[in-house]
Amino acid sequence: MNNEPYKTYLNENELPTSWYNMRADMKRKPAPLLNPATGKPCTAEDLEKVFCGDLVRQELDDTTAEFAIPDEIRDFYRMFRPSPLIRAYFLEKALGTPAKIYYKFEGNNTSGSHKLNSAVAQAYYAKKQGLKGVTTETGAGQWGTALSMACAFFGLDCKVFMVKCSYEQKPFRREVMRTYGASVTPSPSMDTNVGRMINAEHPGTTGSLGCAISEAVETAVTNPGYRYVLGSVLNQVLLHQSIIGLEARTAFRKLGVKPDIIIGCAGGGSNLGGLIAPFMGEKLRGEADYRFIAVEPASCPSFTRGKYAYDYCDTGRICPLSKMYTLGADFIPSASHAGGLRFHGMSSTLSELYDQKLMEAVSVKQTEVFEAAQFFARTEGILPAPESSHAIRGAINEAVKCRESGEAKTILFGLTGTGYFDMTAYQAFNDGKMSDYLPTDEDLERSFAKLPKIG
Ligand SMILES: *Cc1c(COP(=O)(O)O)cnc(C)c1O
């Protein structure tokens, strides 16, 4: 090793005091959310029936660049932040690459992922508004876990609709949430109109994220004192996650290093949007240039094979419509897909940046993702979440290109979490039983045919 540190930690007093909103520096802004009943842009009043007031203001604001982080949230952040920026010396050596590889590790908290950064903010604003509780959905369970922790801290009730197949496959994830005081209901349930309808139409269904979202929204709007919160996709979530990029940029400045390529996995886009935010801001203002790469699963390829169109975010079609790269609201990845990142759509902000060619995207097959995960675990020691391993795969691919060209690029990627609850997926990989099913063009066309006809 040379004399540069393996880990760069910031001091607590270097924890950012504001979040950064990329949209303020975009000349062409992301398209507005539309009210599904009227087809017109959502007003604050429309959204406040579903979401907390302060979060609605963050959602709709595309001109304010900086939002001060309230002290209560910064105090909570101190329990697990600033997170380390790590130089992947052992990975570089194993790859024989001249590239310098860094990763920002967000798995250093019990919920195991970056999702806590936004969960604590959303729980804080709900409490500040005097609400009793919040409702949400969770797929793999990281968001539900993060939100349960945050709600326990602020004394809020937390109702989680967990996609039924995960509820059954990940009993320990469920128990973590219950330990923090959340109630966890398998979705589709018989507790909501939309759940009963979906169960009647598709008996025995093991659920989907889109369906769990509809159930959580219905529960929020029919219970006084409750609002719905979402762990990805929305602008407010990208705003809270900007803490990742802001810390990373400060750490790089201390090291005197500038990254050339910034890589993140993309499910709904929140960790990637947060990691790239301040760097994208520099690019948008013409101050610096970077390459940004979104890495998504080939079995749920929203950016690389999706359409840029208005679409529903949920199966029940009760949420606002968002203009985004989408595979269609009814798209469900193949049952063999084990790598997470299974939402059919994408953040509207990242979608617009991608459409303006300010960002690139690649898709990777899940067997390649788990190969990268295993290689990373064996070299850098951390057992990565399958989602995060998409970014590892992306970084390894770029580092191998550097080996071939002899260029010593500096690569930063987001290591969003740990994979302890994903051992069934690792088991399938270790047993050689993991397969790669990619949707056919016909599968996608069927799904695109149901896109709402707007604009
Ligand atoms: C939820 C999750 C993701 C994907 O969500 P984004 O909103 O796209 O960031 C990635 N990694 C981990 C560990 C997650 O829990």
Which pLDDT score is estimated for 1?
56
Query: CA nearest 19: which of 314, 274, 376?
Result: 274
Structural domains present in the chain: 18-24+50-68+115-228 (3.40.50.1100), 80-112+235-448 (3.40.50.1100)
Pocket test for ligand 1, best of 104, 108, 113 (most atoms within 8 A of CB): 113
User: Strand locations in 175-273, DSSP E?
Assistant: 183-187, 226-228, 261-265
What's the pTM? 0.97
Stretches in the chain below the pLDDT threshold 70: 1-2, 455
* Rounded distance from Cα 38 to ligand 1 centre (Å): 32
Which pLDDT score is estimated for 318?
84
Token pair, residue 204, equals: 């025995």
Q: Is residue 268 within 6 Å of ligand 1 at its C-beta?
A: yes
Q: Which atom of ligand 1 is nearest to the CA of 271?
A: 9
Which pLDDT score is estimated for 2?
63
Residue 85 pairs with which residues in a beta bridge?
8, 104
CA dist 450 and 302 (Å) reads 16
The CA distances from residue 251 to 7, 78, 82, 130, in Å, are: 10, 17, 10, 37
* Rounded distance from Cα 455 to ligand 1 centre (Å): 31
Q: Is residue 265 within 6 Å of ligand 1 at its C-beta?
A: yes
Q: Is residue 192 within 6 Å of ligand 1 at its C-beta?
A: no
Which pLDDT score is estimated for 442?
96
Q: Are strands 183-187 and 322-326 parallel, antiparallel or unpaired?
A: unpaired
- Measured between its terminal Cα atoms, the distance across the chain in Å is 56
pLDDT tens figures, 379-396: 999 999 999 999 999 999
CA dist 433 and 103 (Å) reads 30
Query: CA nearest 312: which of 344, 351, 274?
Result: 344
